[in-house]
């Protein structure tokens, strides 16, 4: 059991090389400063339905000091259940650009799966460039989560 817990704690989605994410085009007239940043966040899910904002004001302000635009090429979402293996639990997770008023237009990627066998992940490829001065930038990347089968005490 301890070994399984260690495996889950150390589990990460597969790395995707920069060359796979960004295809080099020698004929591209734009000169982009390449800055690839990986941000890992641990977010506690406390409700059966939850909306998670991936961007924060502090990071955006910091980037705006040196850049005018930001490009989102890949967003990897990993879900690690903190329950006993084999429970009939499942999740629906949607990665969205919530600036769109139409849900279908806002959808970047989604997963609906059982969590009974451990962690799951999915990759979203927004291929989205946005101005760092866009007044709705914090709505750009959001995850909507709906859990099923977690009949537990509040706060668990």
Token couple for 59:
């990071």
| Predicted confidence (pLDDT) per residue in 99-123, tens digit | 999 999 999 999 999 988 888 899 9
Token couple for 100:
């769109």
The phi and psi torsions of 35 (rounded to 5 degrees) equal -140, 100
| Predicted confidence (pLDDT) per residue in 13-44, tens digit | 888 877 777 766 655 555 555 666 666 777 77
Top-confidence range, 1-5, 35-39, 144-148: 144-148
Which DSSP state fits 118? S
Token couple for 102:
């139409």
Token couple for 124:
């979203």
Which DSSP state fits 136? T
């Amino acid at each position: 059991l301890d070994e399984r817990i260690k495996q889950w704690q150390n589990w990460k989605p597969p790395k995707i090389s920069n060359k796979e994410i960004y295809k080099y085009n020698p004929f591209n007239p734009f000169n982009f400063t390449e800055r690839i940043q990986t941000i890992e966040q641990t977010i506690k899910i406390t409700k059966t339905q939850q909306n998670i904002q991936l961007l924060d004001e502090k990071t955006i302000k910091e980037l705006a000091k040196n850049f005018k635009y930001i490009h989102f090429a890949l967003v990897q979402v990993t879900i690690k259940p903190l329950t006993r293996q084999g429970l009939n639990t499942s999740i629906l997770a949607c990665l969205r650009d919530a600036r769109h008023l139409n849900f279908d237009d806002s959808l970047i990627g989604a997963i609906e799966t059982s969590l009974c066998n451990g962690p799951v992940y999915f990759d979203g490829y927004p291929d989205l460039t946005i101005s760092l001065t866009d007044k709705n930038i914090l709505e750009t990347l959001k995850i909507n989560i709906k859990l099923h089968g977690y009949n537990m005490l509040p706060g668990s």
